[in-house]
């Protein structure tokens, strides 16, 4: 393989394109957004990810990576486009279909097509196959067809791209083998081969496993609050059992994966995926619980203001997709509360986004929603002077509470009942 074409230059496509380019392949990175194409061709990045800028610079300056608005003939095509949810919680497969249709005219006999986007099980055979075969080529005979889902952790994408085990599902065993030879260029983890639908299910169930376990932690946190005890103490002790690993509780689940992918199973199998649906609903209800707690803490002062710390869906990244912080902010606003948000990682977002001081100015309560490391460096004594009331609600049990209490803050932690506060 000499030349590959990657459809979608986002959190997955751009690191993958750069990785292949630095291994000597000629890579055409395709994106429908002209600004992304321009940025990448200028050796820059449009997303925040540690180490990404350096590898993109290396890839573009070597001439091996170039971005384009349109696909070109290549030995392999990788689809790394979004698979978000529609309002009705069904997978929005428009991007995958459009990217597949775009490569049809440039597919040649012997090429390899890889779906990397996380997709509802059955997508490759039922949705993609007819589109790709409209090229006149037959999968497994004239071209190779695989699903190679991505399981990287935002904030650690470049390390995990290389180090994680990789599941590759082939339309035929030969298809899987061909894709494994391509990924072996940079993957140091094990490459595990299976069939195409199994690979789709593996990826979706991994994220569903996480979602269900987080839902259990969140539900346990609510029970602890009702019991007047501390979830973190319960989790600490329960996790001393050799076969128990309670996850962390928090304000909800966000991101493009864990909060989205379980719906792919609910959508397809509503009769069977009952636990999965309940877990989704539990996690989606957490922002309501956060707001309910905030309202209890601030009472009903005129012109109440909340200082929200964090907009991103998890710590130390800039990705706000499906972030529970967005839901918390919207719900607070619906209650007539003014909200200001400080997030050192997020450069653009809702109008409430502002600097640290403006965020705390005249606030009646500070609510930590994202566990960014920078928040540990906030000096409680300094921000206390800006606030109207010294109230902190830590939804991730993340800050040094002694420090904040010493600065006169009334500290509340999600999952910690009144008696344990
Ligand atoms: N972000 C993660 O950490 C992560 C982890 C594992 C799996 N995934 C999966 O990978 C897939 C991609 O996710 P992402 O986070 O990289 O998304 P993203 O939104 O960051 O990037 C996708 C890119 O595709 C572009 N695009 C849309 N339609 C296109 C088309 N027809 N042709 C070419 N480009 C097009 C968009 O402009 C965007 O730049 C999703 O299915 C996601 O679930 C993501």
For the chain, what are the domain ranges? 3-189, 219-420
219-420 has the same fold as 3-189 = yes
Residue nearest to atom 25 of ligand 1 (CA): 8
pTM for this prediction: 0.94
Give, in order, the Cα–Cα distances in Å from 386 to each of 195, 224, 314, 382.
Answer: 59, 33, 26, 7
pLDDT at 301: 76
Is residue 9 within 8 A of residue 40, CB to CB? The reply is yes
pLDDT at 419: 74
Residue nearest to atom 24 of ligand 1 (CA): 8
For ligand 1, is residue 123 a contact (CB within 6 Å)?
no
Which of 11, 38, 67, 323, when mutated, tests ligand 1's pocket best, judged by the most ligand atoms within 8 Å of its CB?
11
Q: Would you call 194 exposed, middle or buried from its count of C-beta atoms within 10 A (0-12, 13-18, 19+)?
A: middle
Residue 385 among the catalytic residues: no
For ligand 1, is residue 31 a contact (CB within 6 Å)?
yes
**Domain topology for 219-420:** Rossmann fold (3.40.50)
Q: Which of 111, 148, 175, 257 is catalytic?
A: 257
pLDDT at 420: 74
For ligand 1, is residue 98 a contact (CB within 6 Å)?
yes
Angstrom distance (rounded) from CA 298 to CA 363: 10
Is residue 65 within 8 A of residue 18, CB to CB? The reply is yes
What parts of the chain have a pLDDT lower than 70? 421
In a 13 Å sphere around the CA of 222, the CA atoms on its Cβ side amount to 17
**Domain topology for 3-189:** Rossmann fold (3.40.50)
CA of 95 to the centre of ligand 1 (A): 9
For ligand 1, is residue 287 a contact (CB within 6 Å)?
no
Residue 224 among the catalytic residues: no
For ligand 1, is residue 115 a contact (CB within 6 Å)?
no
Residue nearest to atom 18 of ligand 1 (CA): 10
In a 13 Å sphere around the CA of 52, the CA atoms on its Cβ side amount to 24
Which of 6, 9, 10, when mutated, tests ligand 1's pocket best, judged by the most ligand atoms within 8 Å of its CB?
10
Q: Which of 5, 111, 175, 203 is catalytic?
A: 203
pLDDT in tens, 125-184: 999 999 999 999 999 999 999 999 999 998 999 999 999 999 999 999 999 999 999 999
Q: How far apart are the first and last CA of the chain?
A: 60
Angstrom distance (rounded) from CA 34 to CA 117: 21
């Amino acid at each position: 393989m000499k030349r590959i074409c990657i459809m979608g230059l986002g959190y997955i496509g751009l690191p993958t394109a750069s990785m292949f380019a630095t291994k000597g392949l000629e890579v055409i990175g395709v994106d429908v957004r002209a600004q992304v194409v321009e940025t990448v061709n200028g050796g820059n990045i449009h997303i925040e990810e540690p180490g990404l800028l350096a590898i993109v610079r290396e890839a573009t300056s070597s001439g091996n990576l170039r971005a384009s608005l349109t696909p070109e003939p290549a030995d392999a095509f990788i689809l790394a486009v979004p698979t978000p949810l529609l309002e009705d919680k069904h997978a929005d497969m428009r991007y995958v279909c459009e990217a597949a249709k775009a490569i049809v005219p440039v597919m040649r006999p012997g090429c390899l097509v890889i779906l990397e986007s996380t997709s509802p099980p059955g997508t490759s055979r039922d949705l993609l196959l007819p589109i790709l075969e409209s090229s006149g080529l037959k999968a497994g005979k004239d071209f190779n067809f695989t699903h190679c889902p991505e399981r990287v952790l935002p904030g650690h994408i470049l390390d995990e791209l290389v180090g994680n085990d990789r599941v590759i599902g082939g339309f035929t065993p030969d298809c899987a083998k061909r894709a494994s030879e391509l990924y072996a260029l940079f993957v140091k983890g094990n490459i595990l081969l299976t069939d195409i639908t199994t690979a789709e299910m593996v990826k979706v169930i991994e994220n569903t496993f996480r979602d269900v376990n987080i839902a259990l932690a969140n539900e346990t946190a609510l029970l602890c609050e009702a019991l007047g005890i501390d979830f973190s103490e319960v989790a600490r002790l329960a996790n001393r059992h050799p076969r128990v690993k309670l996850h962390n509780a928090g304000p909800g689940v966000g991101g493009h994966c864990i909060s989205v992918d379980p719906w792919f199973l609910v959508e397809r199998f509503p009769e069977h995926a009952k636990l999965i649906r309940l877990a989704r609903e539990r996690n989606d209800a957490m922002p309501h619980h956060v707001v309910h707690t905030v309202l209890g803490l601030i009472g009903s002062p005129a012109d109440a203001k909340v200082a929200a710390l964090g907009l991103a869906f998890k710590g130390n990244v800039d990705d706000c997709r499906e972030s529970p912080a967005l839901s918390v902010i919207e719900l607070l606003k619906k209650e007539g509360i003014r909200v200001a948000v400080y997030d050192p990682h997020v450069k653009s977002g809702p109008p409430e986004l502002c600097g640290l001081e403006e965020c705390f100015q005249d606030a009646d309560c500070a609510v930590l929603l994202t566990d960014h490391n920078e928040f540990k460096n906030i000096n409680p004594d300094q921000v206390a002077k800006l606030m109207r009331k010294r109230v902190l609600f830590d939804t991730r049990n993340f800050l040094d509470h002694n420090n904040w209490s010493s600065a006169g803050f009334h500290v509340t932690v999600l999952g910690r009942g009144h008696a344990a506060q």
